[in-house]
Amino acid sequence: MNHYCTYFDGGFLPQGLALWRSLAKHDPDSVLWVLALDETTARVLGGLGGSFLKVVTLAELESADPELARVKSTRTRAEYYFTLSPSWPRYLLRKRPDLGRVTYLDADMLFFANPEGVFTAMDAAGASILVTGHRFPEWLRHYEKHGRYNVGLLSFRNDDSGRACLDDWRTQCLAWCHDRLEDGKYADQKYLDAWPEKFGAAVLVLDDPGVNLAPWNWTAQPCAVGPGSVAVDGRPLVLFHFARFRAITGDWWWQSGQLDYGVMPWALRQAVYGSYWRALVAARAEIRQAEPAWRQPVRAARYDRDFWRSLPLRLLFGSDWLRLGDRFVSGRLGLGRYSGRVLAKLRTIFLRR
């Protein structure tokens, strides 16, 4: 049985529920441990869950880790959430020594296939720690200043090396974890750069293009849509990271965040982002059924000059999505793997940068 963990508040409740439902579909014997960051999340998930969904409140974690609670006043909310990243799986491995391994997931991810290959690779390598690279294409390598590895998928075995890594990472995040670049650090993520050298053979950098596919790396390899599936360089799409995908106005105008990296061609976009949108709609309906008074908090959009200047590109290339009744539509231009470079050039015209 695989054990996963994540954390989120009410703003990400549909994303977290969609993640769990996809996990239950593709790894049905697994358990997802959720650190509920507010009362609404704890209450809704507590009413939905069973033996395969376990909920721990933030107060429980802070009670067990007073050093963590003490730094809360020194961080913004986002920075404190980043600070939780090592403390949460560390808590689980200490609280539940019977857990042989715990795998951390960002809440804005969705499974498309069984992830057993991830753990098979980890076991075959005899690894205690698993990370995935950002796998930026050459023209996006400048983003590596924020970290070579992505914090969205991490796995830790409950052994000396796995626990030592979490202890070390937690100590670093308690000392400094801010949403800015400073002295070779960035949030909770840049610390991961040192792990392969620090922990040696205990670390596996997973080399599977279908795991932690994301807006910033899908252009680095060919993607193909088949009947009911997506292949990434000939391998199944297992897990996609939907960073920046969110509603920006009510429930009818959504932004995918692809403009900065490249917009998928129409068929691929429908198979990947269309699937996620449907999962979010289903999750919202499930939450409202459990708690009729629930309303999705909407992050305020920044309607600045760049927002309006980039609007024609976002609509034309399909980075923005519109809900029309029960359909989710976006521009059809695409340009596929080359759209990112084309958009980068066009942004210099529209945004003058």
Which pLDDT belongs to residue 231? 98
Do 179 and 51 share a structural domain? Answer: yes
Do 148 and 21 share a structural domain? Answer: yes
CATH code of the domain in which 57 resides? 3.90.550.10
Last residue of a domain, one of 173, 194, 213: 213
Residues counted in the chain = 353
Which pLDDT belongs to residue 259? 75
pLDDT in tens, 251-262: 778 888 787 788
Domain count, the chain: 2
Q: In this structure, is residue 226 part of a structural domain?
A: no
Which ranges of the chain would DSSP assign to H, the alpha helix?
13-26, 39-48, 58-64, 66-70, 77-95, 116-124, 160-175, 195-199, 266-269, 275-290, 305-309, 311-317, 339-350
Do 256 and 209 share a structural domain? Answer: no
Do 263 and 203 share a structural domain? Answer: no
Do 260 and 174 share a structural domain? Answer: no
Do 165 and 19 share a structural domain? Answer: yes
Residue 58 φ/ψ, nearest 5 degrees: -60, -35
Which pLDDT belongs to residue 339? 60
pLDDT in tens, 134-176: 999 988 899 999 999 999 999 999 999 999 999 999 999 999 9
Q: In this structure, is residue 112 part of a structural domain?
A: yes
Which pLDDT belongs to residue 94? 97
Do 293 and 169 share a structural domain? Answer: no
Which pLDDT belongs to residue 328? 76
Last residue of a domain, one of 198, 213, 228: 213
pTM for the full predicted model = 0.92
Which pLDDT belongs to residue 294? 86
- Answer whether 265's CB lies under 8 Å from 332's CB: no
Take residue 306 and report the two structure tokens written for it: 């760049």
Which pLDDT belongs to residue 271? 94
Which pLDDT belongs to residue 335? 59
Contacts of 280 (CB under 8 A, 6+ apart): 14, 15, 18
Q: In this structure, is residue 225 part of a structural domain?
A: no
Do 94 and 205 share a structural domain? Answer: yes
Q: In this structure, is residue 319 part of a structural domain?
A: yes
Do 278 and 190 share a structural domain? Answer: no
- Ranges of residues in the chain whose predicted pLDDT is under 70: 250, 298-303, 332-353
pLDDT in tens, 34-54: 999 999 999 999 988 778 999
- Please report, to the nearest 10 degrees, the dihedral formed by the alpha carbons of residues 175, 134, 52, 88 taken in order: 0
- Answer whether 189's CB lies under 8 Å from 151's CB: yes
Cα(101)–Cα(98) distance, rounded to whole angstroms? Answer: 9
Domain containing 342: what range? Answer: 244-350
Which pLDDT belongs to residue 337? 60
Cα(78)–Cα(82) distance, rounded to whole angstroms? Answer: 6
Do 164 and 19 share a structural domain? Answer: yes
Which pLDDT belongs to residue 261? 84
Cα(144)–Cα(135) distance, rounded to whole angstroms? Answer: 9
Contacts of 36 (CB under 8 A, 6+ apart): 7, 8, 9, 42, 45, 55, 56, 57, 58
Q: In this structure, is residue 228 part of a structural domain?
A: no
Q: In this structure, is residue 119 part of a structural domain?
A: yes
Q: In this structure, is residue 218 part of a structural domain?
A: no
Do 121 and 170 share a structural domain? Answer: yes
Last residue of a domain, one of 197, 213, 229: 213
